[in-house]
Structure 1
Amino acid sequence: MKIHQISTILFAILTLFFGNVLSAQTVRKTAQGINFSAQQLDISVQFYSSNTVRIYKTPKGRPYVKTSLAVTAKPEKTALIFAQKGKNYMIKSKEIQVDVNTETGGVYFSDLSGKQLLHEKDYGTQFSALNDGGTPSFKVRTGFLLDKDEAIFGVGQILDNKFNRRNSAHHLQNENMSTYSPFFHSVKGYAVFWDNYSISEFNDNPQELSFESLGHCSDYYFMYGGNADGVISKIRALTGKAPMLPLWAYGFFQSKERYNTQEESLDVVKKYRELKVPLDVIIQDWRYWPEFNKTDSAWNSQSFDQLRFPNPKKWVDDIHQLNAKLLIVTWPGFGPKTAQRKEFDSKNMIINFDTWPPNSGARPYDVFNPQALNIYWKYLNKGIFSHIGNDGWWLDSTEPDHINKKDSDFNLPTNLGSYRSVKNGFSLMHNKGIATHQRETNDQKRVVILTRSGFVGQQLYGSNTWSGDVNSTWDMLEKQIPAALNYTLIGIPNWNSDIGGFFAGRWRKGGGNKNPEFQELYVRWMQFGTFSPMMRSHGTDLPREIWNFGEKGSWCFDAQEKMIKLRYRLLPYIYSTSWDVSRNDGTFMRPLMMDFAKDKKTHDLGNQYLFGRSLMVSPVTKYQVKKWPVYLPKTSGWYNFWTNQFIEGGKTIDTDAPIEIVPLYVKAGSIIPLGPDVQYASEKKWDSLDISIYAGADGKFILYEDEGDNYNYEKGAFSEITFLWSDDNKTLNISNRKGSFKGMLNTRKFNLRLISKSAKAQETRSIAYDGSQISIKF
């Protein structure tokens, strides 16, 4: 008999037996858990599923109905067992056990073997009354007890060059370059999401881990996944799955601050095509709108200056004819002379503080008002999306920027309360408004959003967060990596940074783009960008287009071109990884603790990661190095991607790292497809793919394909081809193709290469594949 059947029977028996007892003890059983009172608190324990539990506390006799901005799931009917154990009540599902102390209010989480996962402290929740901008509210705090050596991750993108978040304290206030979420992820295979959007505090010390926020309730979700992939699956089940981005979104993006005319940006695309350097996306930064006496009073009017952008529809059409795409910037703040600002002002939908740019009078709209989201899209759609047919959005300043900041500004009202009480949810709601409205307007174009901030759940909206306006320095490049890995561990898979760093004025002395150190920094950053979910060059002070660093044939040009071309050859691997992210809750940038949690060396290792499930990258972040240390985790063998040299795991090696080489290793048992050389992502069909099989372990890879840029995949319009490698039998099995879509290849060629532990022992085969199962013996 299966465990859920046993649970259902026991549930019925114990419900009859304990029904009156629960009532006598003032513990009220509900369909999904229990309610009780302790320590002057009303407490609810509610199972959302067999592995996710919501703990909700309010001051006794002060009920509060909370509507989550991030949580989209509804509680599932879950079979539960209830029992009393002394002062504690136990609630058990088929996956976890929750014990509650009805005197102290403490909540204890365990697995089914009884092994403790997390202990909410007895007497650990506190409500302290305070005045929130004229409204009675509380400072709410809850503490937890962790194991002494338990590694935790998440909390957000924090540029402090640390990976393991133990013994750290953070003021959770989203700003440029600081993107926080009150979420931590344990190496033990569970996570906690503190569902609060106010400016908050996170603190972990030897005595406890705590969250402290503004609000009317203590509201958190405990999720048990068993491992890191399981945790990410649970937070996405709770807050939303990540949709597929289009194939072109994994190509190369070029931008700068800023292209002044439509011809300037169009010429950039033309030159990439002339040089035969791949490019998929050009981005238009700010001030394409009319400027009145340079005062920015028409800031973000979402319209075009007729002198500099005389025919924006033709501009976009010309970009499309060059087989490129356009992302265009839009901001959350509006200058006083814009039509949007006037309407928002008339309806009290402005948060009344100064935002970027300084001295312009620009102010942000109230993203927490659903009607304001509708109005924002009305203008954005009329002025840009349906007018010119752009392909995606650059949402800048989504924290948002706060100029001449005053404490009283945080008391300003929004539709959901004081600005202080909801600030960290600003980006989430702004992204949501644009993504949902675009999809309602045109369901045949996948939403692509580049945004400067984020919050748990933002993965639902096709958003890719970048790290903000970072400085162009070696130490800042180094800080990007653990920041990105912790950000992805809160469940948001899409992240990127400005290749080369945003502010590059320091490099003007000594030659600017021809400064040898800046050139090397830019190349190393591009190597990192090659193995990020979005590969995007952007910055100010110095132009970033490839020809500014030298002519074709010069080392800096060629090193960049090499990485851009590698990115495009990896598109079948990357796009299939995107499907794994969307369908299976996978992760692009996988810190090594995800796949090698039992190897404790990985718990503090935040400077290298797996890109997808097979490629391990260790970006170089120092100047003029020839060797670079790389840790090869235990339980796997590893191949140098460039030389095919095999090395057993469980040690640190010094690998060759000349300027044109990023240390890159392939896990034994991997199957890596490489596509054709192309100038843009969809230029050629994948009718002849090179498939490399790395011997030393069994392997599996699913090659995914679809129509490329619509939502038909949600209706089943896609195909999967599964490759299975049996290392003992030296046999590759290619499955029957599953599924179909318009324009699908019916036949193709696979060029197979078996790479063995001896670099010289390689076998190659070329086979025709018509969608039917085939086995190849090596």
Structure 2
Amino acid sequence: MKISTLLTGLENHGDHLDVTTNGAKFQVYLIDENIIRIRSTFKDEFPEELNYALVKTAWADASDELMAGERTRVEPIAIELTEPEPGVHAASTGKYTLRIHTDPFAFEIVDEAGNVLHSDLPGRSFMEDSLGRPTHYVKMGDHNYFYGFGEKSGELNKIRRRMRMHNTDSLGWDASKSDPLYKMIPFYINFDAERKLTHGLFYNNSADSVFDMDCEHSNYWLRYSYFQAEAGDIDLYFIGGPTIKDVVEHYTDLTGKTAMMPLSSLGYMGSTMFYTELDKDCDKAIEDFVDTCAKYGIPVDGFFLSSGYTSGEDGKRYVYNWNYDRFPSPSGFVEALEEKGVQVSPNIKPGMLNTHYLTDEFEEARAYVRTADDSASQVDRYWGGPAHFVDFTSPAGRAKWSEHMTKQLLDNGIRWIWNDNNEYEIADNDAITEAEGLKRPIGEMKPLMSTLMAKTAHTAIEAFDADVRPYVTNRAGYAGIQRYAQTWCGDNGTTWTNLKYNVPTILGMGLSGVANQGADIGGFDGHAPEPELFVRWVQNGVFQPRFSIHSCNTDNTVTEPWMYPEYTHYIADAIRLRYQLAPYYYSLLHEASVTGAPIMRPLVYEFQDDPNTWNESFEFMIGSSLLVANVLDKGAESIDVYLPAGTDWYDFETRQWLAGGQTITVPVTLASIPMFLRAGSIVPQCPGLTNLHNQTIDHLTLLVEPGEKTEFGLYEDDGVTRAYEHGDYLNTTVTVNPSADGVDIDFAREGAFETRVKTMELEVLCRRIAPLSAEVAGRTIPRFLNYDKFLAADEGWFFDGQTRKALVRYANPNGDYRASLVFKAKDLVSI
């Protein structure tokens, strides 16, 4: 047992600080004003840097060549050591001050006002036990809320939870209790509710580990949390706030923003294991699925192709092996679906069975994870039997994988990739990975393999077609997976519990930097969902950034939108709502790519000052404007909805005004999707949109609530290529300025992309008074008193008294412009 209890030495190198104790030694970097790195080791020397998770570093790293183009090497803040009081040394970022206590040794971080945000547990700060496991203990108070931790079950706030960080194939998992799951993101947000202060801690260690958030108690140490890793070192990053929004943005400054996926990735992705398990004509079955969607008016833009398309003669899966009985012409199949507006995303797996026809080729190239003595390729249990595992930390592994992805998939017209079963459950943690030449044990690299698998797909697609925008989906991953892949939370069980608790799982991922994620809608494992459960799951799923109905039902059924004919219209209506909101979602995806903001957000993210949001797990926001309170319980005839304080709200369907800071009871039917519009909101929509591949968003309805000054970034590009990276985009900042006499809505444009929107319609809520007149770009817009005549007109405005909204339609001008509504009352009596 080694314990750091006494500071024994300090050496300031200017760009970093060496700290020595009677236990561990440390390196401290002030990366920027918001991020402080505290790297520790109990070994004699620090190992060479290898940080696949980071896009911002201040040191040389063995992955720098691989990460070229997406990593920034910064000059850290120069360290100026002070001694503010005896036994305390300090260094400041300008915003946060790191204080180093001598005896007992501990790190402490304070803000500019002197508030202590983070404090090690003095006398027990950094330890290494007799098994060589490093542990970091942190003091906590009586009012802490803990969010994040990546993909976790249970409610949003993880106080008094002990959670294991480990990648596992969790078939049929229980979203209320199961732990661990598929992904490992050792990052959390600490919200001190008493002082309204927030910060984050990221432990950049990809070995198995555990967080204890006040589960363990000791009368001698009072309240604390801890992080313990099975191997490696404690490499800690303090992430400053002061708000939850700020912490997420600064954390994604470090680990990367969400990838800008194609527009069509926001559509409905059809999927099921059933079709690719048919003996023959699987391609025709999938084409029929797409045609049936069209028959029922159900939009669809993609199809996740389950791994049955790779089945060999023995029925086992062999990646990059087309089964020509099931798919006689892969390229013809892909082309046929493209003509229908649907892209194919085939399932690929990094475990290659020993009987795989490519085994010798991959072994000869040393493309697999190796045995601990490096004498052969490692073999372990996998789906279908003993298998080797591709080593994505090896240039040879990446090259071989890309070569066959190109031959078997990209050459056949495929541009979307679905990475599955990539948890790397290799039992021998001492098996060796190449690790860019550093030869690291697999026990320290497992979740990084799945992240690098996604990066490899990106690289292969871009090498094949430099213009195409990759769309990669991953089941497993580590911190930073958001840079490459959309994710989903694996093979959930088909239960009401999982419908409900998948919500906080997704919200927690969003707070962990992964803005683009979802669940298998309808449930993957178990009997088919009963009709009510299926409808409610779809009504929730249409709000998840990844929307896919996917199943492997155990009762010989397949979960399809029309599986219950009397309920199909509910399913179709929900999916059409998703497509109507596509312009809003695409703008939010762009926001995530710039700031890291989640698309699907917990209430506490937007309303941190409202105590009623701190433990809310099931209501959520889409962006900053829409509150969604899905019906998540069986047989519900009404639900209670809390509307956060500090703003007003409107029922999305009726446009009825509601005061914030109250709980309302909402009667519901099976058709109900309770949604509420926040005052001071802007929501772009495209009514009637049914396909994101083949249709152009040439008309927009901008829903505006002008009660508060606000702005929104309406983002447009071609939705397909990478031209946006070179300025071919259009970001229109829409600013709403209300006054006593009316409202001005300004449109300021940036970027070279020529908008495809020909017709704009403003839907402006007018709670107190109808407009007197409307102007657009300096021109007076004619008013219609007859609604039918307004509908037939290319330009004009109409006031809908029932929902108290003004509808203003006009041709979309070029360049910047202003739209204005005048609310001054017209005195008809005095006339």
The question of whether the paired residues in 2 share the 8 Å contact of 1:258 and 1:284 is answered with no
Q: Which amino acid aligns with 2:351?
A: G
1:521-540 alignment, distance < 5 Å: 521-540=533-552
Query: Once superposed, which parts of structure 1, at least 4 consecutive aligned residues long, lie more than 6 Å away?
Result: none
Aligned mates of 2:710, 2:619 — CA distance in 1: 22
Aligned mates of 1:443, 1:58 — CA distance in 2: 42
1:450-469 alignment, distance < 5 Å: 450-461=473-484, 463-469=485-491
The question of whether the paired residues in 1 share the 8 Å contact of 2:424 and 2:447 is answered with no
1:621-770 alignment, distance < 5 Å: 621-729=632-740, 730-741=742-753, 744-745=755-756, 747-756=758-767, 760-770=803-813
Report Cα offsets for 1:673-707 as digits up to 9, x if no partner. Answer: 21031320144433332122124322222211001
Pair 1:211–1:658, CA change in 2 (3 A): same
Match of 2:412 in 1: 388
Q: Which amino acid aligns with 2:402?
A: W
1:29-428 alignment, distance < 5 Å: 29-59=12-42, 61-75=44-58, 76-77=74-75, 78=77, 80-85=79-84, 86-123=86-123, 124-128=125-129, 130=131, 138-159=132-153, 161-177=154-170, 178=181, 179-187=183-191, 188-205=197-214, 207-260=223-276, 261-294=282-315, 296=316, 299-351=317-369, 352-358=378-384, 360-385=385-410, 387-400=411-424, 409-415=428-434, 416-428=439-451
Question: 2:824 aligned with 1:774, yes or no?
Answer: no
Pair 1:499–1:63, CA change in 2 (3 A): closer
Q: Which shifted more, 53-62 or 581-590?
A: 53-62
Match of 1:433 in 2: 456
Q: Which amino acid aligns with 1:392?
A: W
Sequence identity, in percent? Answer: 23
Q: Which amino acid aligns with 1:547?
A: W
Aligned mates of 2:756, 2:506 — CA distance in 1: 36
Question: 2:605 aligned with 1:614, yes or no?
Answer: no
Match of 1:16 in 2: none
Pair 1:665–1:484, CA change in 2 (3 A): same
Report Cα offsets for 1:179-198 as digits up to 9, x if no partner. Answer: 33211112232111101011
Aligned mates of 1:673, 1:63 — CA distance in 2: 52
Q: Which amino acid aligns with 1:293?
A: D
Q: Which amino acid aligns with 1:192?
A: L
Aligned mates of 2:511, 2:597 — CA distance in 1: 11
1:566-585 alignment, distance < 5 Å: 566-585=577-596
Q: Which amino acid aligns with 1:83?
A: T
The question of whether the paired residues in 2 share the 8 Å contact of 1:163 and 1:483 is answered with yes
Aligned-residue CA RMSD (Å): 2.1
Aligned mates of 2:25, 2:314 — CA distance in 1: 59
Q: Match for 1:476 among 468, 491, 498?
A: 498
Q: Which amino acid aligns with 1:202?
A: F
The structural deviation recorded for 1:432 is: 2.0
Question: 2:572 aligned with 1:564, yes or no?
Answer: no
| Secondary structure, counterpart of 2:20 in structure 1 | strand
Q: Which amino acid aligns with 1:95?
A: K
| Secondary structure, counterpart of 1:121 in structure 2 | coil
Q: What is the number of residues matched between the two proteins?
A: 721
The question of whether the paired residues in 2 share the 8 Å contact of 1:300 and 1:333 is answered with no
Match of 2:510 in 1: 488
The structural deviation recorded for 1:653 is: 1.4
The question of whether the paired residues in 2 share the 8 Å contact of 1:139 and 1:213 is answered with yes
The structural deviation recorded for 1:708 is: 0.8
The structural deviation recorded for 1:469 is: 0.9
Q: Match for 1:442 among 453, 465, 480?
A: 465
The structural deviation recorded for 1:667 is: 0.6
Aligned mates of 1:748, 1:737 — CA distance in 2: 17
Q: Which shifted more, 435-444 or 699-708?
A: 435-444
The question of whether the paired residues in 1 share the 8 Å contact of 2:14 and 2:80 is answered with no
Report Cα offsets for 1:178-220 as digits up to 9, x if no partner. Answer: 1332111122321111010111111121521111113342211
Q: Which amino acid aligns with 1:627?
A: S
Q: Match for 2:562 among 536, 547, 550?
A: 547
Aligned mates of 1:38, 1:27 — CA distance in 2: 9
The structural deviation recorded for 1:760 is: 4.4
| Secondary structure, counterpart of 2:572 in structure 1 | helix
| Secondary structure, counterpart of 1:230 in structure 2 | helix
The question of whether the paired residues in 1 share the 8 Å contact of 2:706 and 2:764 is answered with no
Match of 2:374 in 1: none
The question of whether the paired residues in 1 share the 8 Å contact of 2:211 and 2:225 is answered with yes
| Secondary structure, counterpart of 2:401 in structure 1 | helix
Aligned mates of 1:585, 1:143 — CA distance in 2: 28
The structural deviation recorded for 1:503 is: 1.5
Aligned mates of 2:593, 2:232 — CA distance in 1: 35
Aligned mates of 2:314, 2:396 — CA distance in 1: 32
Aligned mates of 1:64, 1:185 — CA distance in 2: 28
Aligned mates of 2:87, 2:395 — CA distance in 1: 46
Aligned mates of 1:342, 1:756 — CA distance in 2: 72
Report Cα offsets for 1:402-431 as digits up to 9, x if no partner. Answer: 6xxxxx533333334333232233322222
The structural deviation recorded for 1:103 is: 4.2
Q: Which runs of 5+ in 2 are unaligned?
A: 1-6, 59-73, 171-180, 192-196, 218-222, 277-281, 370-377, 770-801, 823-831
Match of 1:405 in 2: none
| Secondary structure, counterpart of 1:361 in structure 2 | strand
The structural deviation recorded for 1:471 is: 0.9
The question of whether the paired residues in 1 share the 8 Å contact of 2:98 and 2:110 is answered with yes
Aligned mates of 1:670, 1:635 — CA distance in 2: 14
The structural deviation recorded for 1:636 is: 1.1
Q: Which amino acid aligns with 1:356?
A: Y
Aligned mates of 1:317, 1:249 — CA distance in 2: 18
The question of whether the paired residues in 2 share the 8 Å contact of 1:628 and 1:655 is answered with yes
| Secondary structure, counterpart of 2:641 in structure 1 | strand
Report Cα offsets for 1:441-463 as digits up to 9, x if no partner. Answer: 322221212221222111111x1
Q: Which amino acid aligns with 2:819?
A: S
The structural deviation recorded for 1:25 is: 8.5
